Amino acid sequence: MSKDHKGRSGGSSDAPPPDLKKERDQFLQNFSKGARLTEEFIQEHERVQGRLQHLERENAQLRAKVEADDAVRELLGKIAQLERDKSELLSRFHEAEAVSTQFSERFHEVESEFANMANLFVASNQLHSTLSPRGVTRRIKEVLAQLVGAESYGVYLGNSDSSELVPIASEGVAGDRLVPLRLPDDSRVDEVVRTGSAWIDEEGDPSQGSIEKPPAVIPLSVDEKVVGVIVIFSTLSQKKKFDTIDFELFKLLGQHAAAALVSASLFVQVGRKIPGLEAFLDLSV
């Protein structure tokens, strides 16, 4: 064996030097540590990334909640404003409704007053539209039936000495039940003739009246002298009470019916002749 061969076989030239092995081990150890650090870094990065995403989601949710809260607050503000507007409109509506109610009530009052005036005008016009005693009597009956609502009644005129009232017209009662009334007799009719004031039952039901207990007795006067009476025995069943227009019609009948009857009677007595001019010459005196 040669020297060189001996040298190679007897030496340790094929084994790594101790320092290279150490360096290798140190390198491998460092590399392994770096790998672990890298892996830990990656894991930490992933955790941070996940946390960041979670925070972004939370932030988005909070932003959405804030925006929703703002929208709710804005909506609540609008609702409050609408409630205020509603209250104001309701207040104006109630004011307008009150004014409308007052206007409607006043309109009905005026309408009622106008209707009453129309009734009085018609009644007065009817009474003076004829110079026939029969025509005047018919007009009186029309006023009593159509405007007052009387169902049964009698019209009486006094005799020359006012000791007796004689029925000259009637409706709703048999003729044999109406007889002349002797005065004085302490009856309601006698009281009306003596006082010149009408007697009217303002509380009772006039539709339940009778000949014995009439609900209304109206005096007929000429120059404040009672010359007769109208006695209402009962009204139509639907007329349960006398009202203001009835009182006005009674007053009108009391003041105009007798005068119309007297005028018509005198006109007939003079042969239906209109008085000459000389009868009016002293009117201005």
pLDDT at 28: 67
Block residue for tokens 């770096």: 34
Average pLDDT (25-44) is: 72
pLDDT at 119: 77
Give the type of residue at 205: D
Average pLDDT (80-96) is: 86
Question: Where in the chain are the domains?
Answer: 21-127, 133-271
pTM of the model: 0.60
Whether the pLDDT of residue 1 is over 50: the answer is no
In degrees and rounded to multiples of 5, residue 222 shows phi and psi of: -130, 120
Q: Domain 133-271 carries which CATH code?
A: 3.30.450.40
Residue 137 makes CB contacts below 8 A (sequence gap 6+) with 155, 168, 169, 261
Mean pLDDT of the chain: 82
Whether the pLDDT of residue 15 is over 60: the answer is no
User: Of 251, 149, 155, 235, whose CA–CA distance to 198 is shortest?
Assistant: 251
* Distance between start and end Cα atoms, the chain: 197
Whether the pLDDT of residue 229 is over 90: the answer is yes
Q: Tell me the pLDDT tens digit for each residue of 163-212.
A: 899 999 999 998 788 889 998 888 899 999 999 999 999 989 999 999 99
Q: Tell me the pLDDT tens digit for each residue of 37-78.
A: 777 777 877 887 888 788 778 877 877 777 777 878 888 888
pLDDT at 20: 64
User: Of 134, 192, 181, 139, whose CA–CA distance to 156 is shortest?
Assistant: 181
Instruction: Tokens for 281, please give them.
Output: 């010459």
pLDDT at 217: 96
Whether the pLDDT of residue 222 is over 80: the answer is yes
pLDDT at 17: 55
Q: Tell me the pLDDT tens digit for each residue of 105-150.
A: 887 777 777 677 777 788 888 888 888 889 999 999 999 998 899 9
Contact 218/253 with Cβ under 8 angstroms?
yes
